[in-house]
Structure 1
């Protein structure tokens, strides 16, 4: 499930599994379909 959130006068879409914020709802939904709910690889 993707949750819409307002931050810095913009709407962001948060992946409920890992918490990643994306500015595009479609991108967020696609991310969530493939999210393994572990720490995102971009933090490594």
Structure 2
């Protein structure tokens, strides 16, 4: 379930499109760092 289960508030009332875009941007950045770390460890 997304949103607030206690109040039955849907996610679109809790989060804006900007919030979603920022979350994706941060997740992509974390993924890139994880890939770099993986490659560094793999090549040792």
Does 1 or 2 have the higher relative contact order (CA < 8 Å, sep 6+)?
A: 1
Q: Give the TM-score normalised by structure 2.
A: 0.32
As a proportion of its length, which structure holds more strand?
1
Larger radius of gyration: 2
Which has more helix, going by share of residues?
2
